[in-house]
Amino acid sequence: MPSVALITLEGCYASSLTGLMDIFQVANAHARKQFGDHIEPFEWQFVSYSGRAVEASGGLALATEPLARHDRTYDLVYIPGVFYSGQDAFEHFLKSQAKLGSWIAQQWQQGAIVAANCTGTFLLAEVGLLDKRNATTTWWLEKRFRQRYPKVNLDIRHLLTEDERLICAGGIPTYQHLALRMVEHFFSPAIASLCAKTLLVDVGQTAQAPFLPLSDTSDHGDSLIARAQYRLQQDMRKTLSIKALADALAVSQRTLTRRFNAALGMQPLTYLQNLRIEAAKQLLEITDLNIETILGEVGYSDASSFSRLFLARTGMTPSAYRDRFRRTK
């Protein structure tokens, strides 16, 4: 019987927690139908360190069992996503979970699979289990994650990562993919496929890349780079050299490149390419313009090079992106 500890945290997203349970319920039903009543189904418990009722982010109160009452190793320990109310509050939350983190690490050392969704991946990294291992997290906290956990091999292009019984999932809805991966592990790929079809989960979506905003304008505090970003945004359609940009800003190319890397983690040309790809994504979503016209709108003339760049940055061709994300009226 696959035993699951659903760690219930104050401020957790209810869907991130109870949604996993719902998928396991559907999996149990399909497994019993296929294999009979002798099948050992998923069984789960909502657990917390204190054992008191816990309030999810939307106000839903969830009764929990105290961890100390269960002197056993679970097959799966799951950490849900937690509402992010700001850097200071979130760091306080992480520091307050030291005892829970020790219990999670002990469960993993005893053979449990440990999985985390969205911001819950921070708690898994906080324990140190992700050091020198592959992981992902929600894309909009990538910079915070990298700063706090530099030893982790973070790759936010993936919806799921799996490394030595440690599973990370990206944004909140990816708990569905995580749950189906566990159904596949504990039951079979066939049962996981049935669950996906029943619940209308698109298992073909395996990457976060198509959803990532490329032209990040983080509050870096560098006025020179802010001016450079503004010029690149305004002149996106034009043929623009980095030398011309540096001259317009009255700095050397070396200084501009160094400051750009420090502020945004990329070179000016990469930022300009990202701006153009982001603009093309929007036009593919909301207009009927053909690809050639879109190329001109975003400053490209070579369709082949644009398509290669688009594929490299989003994981999809322009046509495939339009088919998936086109907004219907």
Exposure class string for 195-215: b at 16+ Cβ within 10 A, else e: bbeeeebebeeebbbbebebb
3-class DSSP state of 104: helix
pLDDT digits (tens, 9 = 90+) for 137-187: 988 888 889 999 999 999 888 889 999 999 999 888 899 999 999 999 999
More reliable by pLDDT, 223 or 26: 26
pLDDT recorded at residue 161: 95
Rounded average pLDDT over 247-266: 89
pLDDT recorded at residue 133: 96
pLDDT recorded at residue 190: 92
pLDDT recorded at residue 127: 93
Rounded average pLDDT over 3-13: 94
Domain 3-210 fold is Rossmann fold (3.40.50)
Whether 329 has a pLDDT exceeding 80, the answer reads no
In whole angstroms, how far apart are CA 257 and each of 173, 231, 307? 37, 15, 26
Topology match between the domains 3-210 and 223-325: no
**Rounded distance between C-alpha atoms, residue 75 and residue 39, angstroms:** 16
Sorted by where each begins, the domain ranges of the chain are: 3-210, 223-325
DSSP string, 228-285: HHHHHHHTTTS---HHHHHHHTTS-HHHHHHHHHHHHSS-HHHHHHHHHHHHHHHHHH
223-325 — its CATH code?
1.10.10.60
User: Is this structure's pTM higher than 0.85?
Assistant: no
pLDDT recorded at residue 215: 59
Tell me which of 88-102, 187-201, 234-248 is least confident. Answer: 234-248
Pick from 182, 184, 207: which is nearest to 194 by CA? 184
**Rounded distance between C-alpha atoms, residue 284 and residue 294, angstroms:** 8
Residue 169, token pair as written in the block: 């999932």
The pLDDT confidence band at residue 18, using thresholds 50, 70 and 90, is very high
pLDDT digits (tens, 9 = 90+) for 59-82: 899 999 998 665 788 999 999 999
The pLDDT confidence band at residue 90, using thresholds 50, 70 and 90, is very high
More reliable by pLDDT, 220 or 318: 318
